Chains A and B, each alone.
Chain A
Amino acid sequence: MSEISVWRPTAPLENLRRRAALLADIRRFFAERQVLEMEVPILSRRATSDPHIDSITADCSGAPAYMATSPEFGLKRLVAAGIGDCYYLGKAFRNGEAGGRHNPEFTMLEWYRMGWDDHRLMIEVGELLSWLLKIARVRSYSYRALFLQQLGVDPHRAAFAELKAVVSRVLELSFEPAGRDECLDLLMSHYIEPNMGEGITLVYDFPATQAALARVEEDELGVPVARRFEAYVGGMELANGYWELTDAAEQQRRFVSDHGYREDNGKPVYPFEERLVQALESGLPECAGVALGVDRLLMLACGAGRIEEVIAFPVDRA
């Protein structure tokens, strides 16, 4: 990038006009389905406890505050309060995430559907994506089926040594994988994603150890799996959805365990959202929710190869 024009947007204006149209289309999609747009704080006294997501810390009125890494805590508290089907379309922030498909400040769409499970919500994600991107082809696979098909290994049952052998067969690493989940993350992001092919691909039933805030249930083979799904288009990860955990005690246990992981791995530890636990105690309706990266969606709509082609002022120019 030339130094003399750093005031300029990195994205062509045509792509920014496309962004405006995309946001309008998304709002129209939800308006037609009676899903309400909600605002939630993006500056909060509580932060994520996600083991692999770091918050950006701010100072607000003399005390630490955290930029929301996603609107989920706010939206779920509204759901627990009885708001019903709702969505958020706005900014989210993740520290240290910068690259061809990442910018620390990005636009996220997240929505919740009352009474739905992950499979019902997957259908709606497919509908939204096919409508916005004009792609008819939607396929879905379980996480296990993808691994079996592409790598010949069962991700839920394979031993650590077996997964390590698969990793060393397909990748050159500078380090020794520390556990099964690290192997699975490597294979997913470096091998399966790039080979996913054209069209919309939905992947469901993730390993139980990667449940995040999704329920864990037994699948048809009796293996506990996270009722979580991801949506990909042309090998680019776009969305992550859950059949939401409603069990307050389990939620509390996961927050504490995530904190432990962060401490053990030398990562910053932030106050977690105990008000979400309280909301679950008071009773979260059965629901499914999904978060979708809007900048990446726009990359697909514009045929852009890098995220700065669709963001006016990425972090280097912000």
Chain B
Amino acid sequence: MASYSTNEFKGGLKVMLDGDPCSIVENEFVKPGKGQAFNRVRLRNLKTGRVWERTFRSGESLEGADVMDRDMEYLYNDGEFFHFMEPESFEQHQADAATVGDAAKWLKEQDVCVVTLYNGAPLAVTPPNHVILEITDTDPGVRGDTAQGGTKPATLVTGAVVKVPLFLEIGDTIKVDTRSAEYLGRAKED
């Protein structure tokens, strides 16, 4: 695997740090007037999701990490593993609950999400930014309150809970932003 010098660090580059694969979030060149140059780098540990802030000497390098992002279709959960499939090769991968993490509450069968592979095995799962899901539980709808006003919690078919406007009811289908768990609007049912 290639190694990368601090001046090649840019957002999204995958490198190894302290034995863990990390994704570079931000790299800032820092140089005091007459002093030596450093790079202040923020990296996301892809195993734990934690963000690290580290200072390097400019010109230092890190090993690249064998990490790849692949679009995959979510197939099903067998109770122990989540199963994904690469759409072109039909190659299947299984990931445990720890790997899928928070993404689990947005995963609907046949939706396409991004599976991050590390040394060929799933390391993390990123759901689509927007998903369309059915409400399976919420307080009864309040008629006539369609524009503004309050919100109420609604449980979706995948188990996620989001805040929705008061007029929505069980059985309605809505569009949600998975990054913020924000209700975006009603979705038309096909």
List residues of A whose CB falls within 8 A of some B CB: 50-53, 96-102, 171-175, 181-182, 184-186, 188-190, 193, 210, 212, 230, 237, 240
In chain B, positions 21-55 with a C-beta closer than 8 Å to chain A are 28-38, 40, 52-55
A-B contact count (CB 8 A): 70
Q: Which residue of chain B lies nearest to A173 when distances are taken between CB atoms in the complex?
A: B55
Are A186 and B38 in contact (CB-based, < 8 A)? yes
Are A99 and B54 in contact (CB-based, < 8 A)? no
CB within 8 Å for A97 and B31 given contacts A174-B60, A186-B38, A189-B38: yes
**In the complex, chain B residues whose CB is within 8 Å of the CB of A173:** 54-56
Q: Which residue of chain B lies nearest to A102 when distances are taken between CB atoms in the complex?
A: B29
7 closest residue pairs by CB, A with B? A99-B29, A185-B35, A240-B33, A189-B32, A52-B36, A174-B56, A189-B30
Measured in the bound complex, the distance between the Cα atoms of B30 and A52 in whole Å is 12
**In the complex, chain A residues whose CB is within 8 Å of the CB of B179:** none
Contact of B40 among A98, A190, A230, A240 (CB under 8 A): A190
**In the complex, chain A residues whose CB is within 8 Å of the CB of B31:** 52, 97, 102, 189
Are B28 and A188 in contact (CB-based, < 8 A)? no
B3 sits at the interface (CB 8 A): no
Measured in the bound complex, the distance between the Cα atoms of B31 and A193 in whole Å is 11
Q: Which residue of chain A lies nearest to B39 when distances are taken between CB atoms in the complex?
A: A99
Are A181 and B56 in contact (CB-based, < 8 A)? no
Measured in the bound complex, the distance between the Cα atoms of B31 and A186 in whole Å is 9
Contact of A174 among B7, B34, B54 (CB under 8 A): B54
CB within 8 Å for A98 and B7 given contacts A172-B53, A172-B55, A175-B56: yes
CB within 8 Å for A96 and B33 given contacts A186-B38, A189-B38: no
List residues of B whose CB falls within 8 A of some A CB: 7, 17, 28-38, 40, 52-58, 60
Are B35 and A52 in contact (CB-based, < 8 A)? yes
Are B36 and A190 in contact (CB-based, < 8 A)? no
Min Cβ gap B9→A in Å is 11
Q: Which residue of chain A lies nearest to B32 when distances are taken between CB atoms in the complex?
A: A189
Are B30 and A240 in contact (CB-based, < 8 A)? no
Are B34 and A212 in contact (CB-based, < 8 A)? yes
Q: Which residue of chain B lies nearest to A206 when distances are taken between CB atoms in the complex?
A: B34
Are B55 and A190 in contact (CB-based, < 8 A)? yes
Measured in the bound complex, the distance between the Cα atoms of B54 and A193 in whole Å is 17
CB within 8 Å for A185 and B55 given contacts A52-B37, A97-B37, A190-B40: no
Min Cβ gap B45→A in Å is 13
CB within 8 Å for A98 and B55 given contacts A50-B34, A52-B37: no
**In the complex, chain A residues whose CB is within 8 Å of the CB of B33:** 230, 237, 240
**In the complex, chain B residues whose CB is within 8 Å of the CB of A193:** 32
Min Cβ gap A175→B in Å is 6
Measured in the bound complex, the distance between the Cα atoms of B40 and A186 in whole Å is 10
**In the complex, chain B residues whose CB is within 8 Å of the CB of A97:** 29, 31, 37
Q: Which residue of chain B lies nearest to A177 when distances are taken between CB atoms in the complex?
A: B57
Residue of B29, B31, B34, B35 contacting most chain A CB atoms (<10 Å)? B34
Measured in the bound complex, the distance between the Cα atoms of B30 and A185 in whole Å is 10
Q: Which residue of chain A lies nearest to B52 when distances are taken between CB atoms in the complex?
A: A172
**In the complex, chain A residues whose CB is within 8 Å of the CB of B7:** 96, 98
**In the complex, chain A residues whose CB is within 8 Å of the CB of B57:** 174-175
Min Cβ gap B54→A in Å is 5
Residue of A97, A99, A182, A210 contacting most chain B CB atoms (<10 Å)? A99
Residue of B54, B55, B58, B60 contacting most chain A CB atoms (<10 Å)? B55
Min Cβ gap A193→B in Å is 8
Min Cβ gap B61→A in Å is 10
Measured in the bound complex, the distance between the Cα atoms of B36 and A97 in whole Å is 11
CB within 8 Å for A210 and B35 given contacts A102-B29, A190-B40: yes
